[in-house]
């Protein structure tokens, strides 16, 4: 995999000083939005273990490792836009390169929960 310099989450910080700290467990996401941004970066970086670990135990059974890995590796992610965020919800648009080099959008309103001092992705509504 190609090294990531600028963090994919859109913070304009380096990956090493931003989401990589959260993904590597050196920092805990402080908000649902911060967790969502780190999860987007994890998709870009192919950090499947992190994506599984940050999915809430109540819905983890609905997410299959191979499907997550295939989507992460087969998709060329090109940008993240936060539409709106509250304490427990983040609506975002994750842009990726589709067929014929067209830009497509995964639009989701995700729900998060804070449990034991850590944020977890619960589920999402897709548009």
Q: Which of 93, 90, 67 is nearest to 80 (CA)?
A: 93
Q: What is the number of helices (H) and of strands (E) in the chain?
A: 4, 4
Which comes out higher in pLDDT, residue 18 or 100?
18
What is the per-residue pLDDT for 1? 53
Phi/psi at 117 (5° precision): 80, 5
Does residue 114 lie in a domain region? yes
Q: Tell me: pLDDT of 73 over 80.
A: yes
pLDDT at 4 (0 to 100):
86
Q: Is residue 11 part of a domain?
A: no
Q: Is the pTM of this model over 0.75?
A: yes
Rounded percentage of the chain residues whose pLDDT exceeds 70: 98
Number of domains, the chain: 1
The pair of structure tokens assigned to 23 is 């993904």
Q: Is residue 7 part of a domain?
A: no
Confidence bin at 99 (pLDDT 50/70/90) = confident
Q: Give the mean model confidence (pLDDT) for residues 92-98.
A: 94
Q: Is residue 47 part of a domain?
A: yes
Q: 11-26 as b/e, with b when 16 or more CB fall inside 10 Å?
A: beeebeebbbbbbeee
Distance CA 127, CA 28 (A): 29
Could you read off the pLDDT of 3-55 as tens digits, one per residue?
A: 689 999 999 999 999 999 999 999 999 999 999 999 999 999 999 999 999 99
Is 4 contained in some domain? Answer: no
Q: Is residue 92 part of a domain?
A: yes
Alpha carbon distance 94, 1 (integer Å): 20
**Which domain does 102 fall in, by range?**
19-126
Q: Distances from the Cα of 75 to the Cαs of 27, 51, 119, 120, 122, in angstroms?
A: 27, 15, 25, 23, 22
Those residues with Cβ within 8 angstroms of residue 51's Cβ, 6 or more apart along the chain or in another chain:
39, 42, 43, 63, 68, 72
């Amino acid at each position: 995999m190609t090294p990531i310099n600028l963090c994919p989450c859109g913070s304009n910080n380096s990956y090493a000083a931003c989401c990589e700290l959260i993904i590597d467990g050196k920092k805990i996401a402080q908000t649902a939005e911060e967790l969502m941004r780190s999860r987007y970066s994890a998709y870009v970086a192919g950090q499947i273990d992190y994506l599984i670990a940050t999915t809430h135990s109540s819905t983890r059974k609905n997410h299959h490792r191979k499907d997550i890995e295939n989507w992460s590796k087969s998709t060329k992610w090109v940008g993240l836009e936060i539409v709106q965020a509250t304490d427990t919800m983040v609506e975002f648009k994750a842009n990726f390169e589709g067929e014929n080099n067209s830009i497509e959008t995964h639009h989701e309103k995700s729900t998060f929960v804070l449990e034991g001092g850590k944020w977890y992705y619960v589920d999402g509504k897709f548009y």
